[in-house]
Amino acid sequence: MTSGHCHQTSGRQYRPFEGRAPLESTHDNTKRLAALRVSGVRVMSCTPRGFTLIEIMVTVAVSVILLAVAVPNYINFMRSNKLSTNVNTFVQALQFARLEARGRGATLCASTGKVGATSGHEECDSADWGKGWIVFSDYDTSGTLNGNDEILRVGEAFSADLTIMAAATLAADTAKVTFGRQGFHVPAGAEHSFEFCIGRGGKGAGRKVTVNLAGTPLVESLDTCSAT
């Protein structure tokens, strides 16, 4: 805030309007200040100074540069966190199915979560892991929910911007993973691998989850992702 028009004199502050009648015009005031300068009185204006156009332009340019660097890094950071969260959820589902398989067998399969009109429960009705999944006891290890089998867990759909591609080794079904009563992967001699990608490139662009012959899920980072 300004404190009024003030002028600094040597040794004291001089206010041209203090204790005097108002000057008739700005022109008169200017003449009076000019007379003071001629008489040797040092006059200093107290009018505040704002930002120059160059200063504003430099500030804007620096802000744009910072945003250009920070925004992509922030987006990649958020995508990386989302990718890790979804992969961890999938691995936990595999570990849960393997644990429940001891003594009775269990299957993890892709599912939309819809209740079948005939069965009255959720079914393995999808080949898209991104829509959701279920874990059920699988006494005959057929990979099909039947007989005395029961649903043990229902998983929600993964993030909409996440791409999951299942690749099978040998004759394994890409839409389900079955564990035998000993916790081993069924059928014997088969592995499953799944690629998770979330629309970013470079180091750590995706994750690969492999269920090995023993039924153990292993996770590795991918720099290039074929699921995009």
Determine phi and psi for 14, rounding to 5 degrees: -110, 125
Q: 201 is written with which tokens?
A: 């490139």
**C-alpha span between 175 and 168 (Å, rounded):** 10
**C-alpha span between 213 and 190 (Å, rounded):** 6
Q: 114 is written with which tokens?
A: 């819809």
H-helix or E-strand spanning residue 222: strand 217-222
Alpha carbon separation from 39 to 32, 42, 67 (Å, rounded):
11, 9, 56
Identify the CATH number of the domain defined by range 84-222. Answer: 3.55.40.10
| Lowest-confidence pick of 3-7, 120-124, 195-199 | 3-7
Query: Per residue in 10-29, pLDDT tens?
Result: 444 445 545 555 545 555 66
Query: Per residue in 162-221, pLDDT tens?
Result: 888 876 543 345 688 999 999 898 877 778 888 888 876 666 678 999 999 889 999 998
Domains of the chain by residue range: 1-49, 84-222
How many C-beta atoms lie closer than 10 Å to residue 190's C-beta?
18
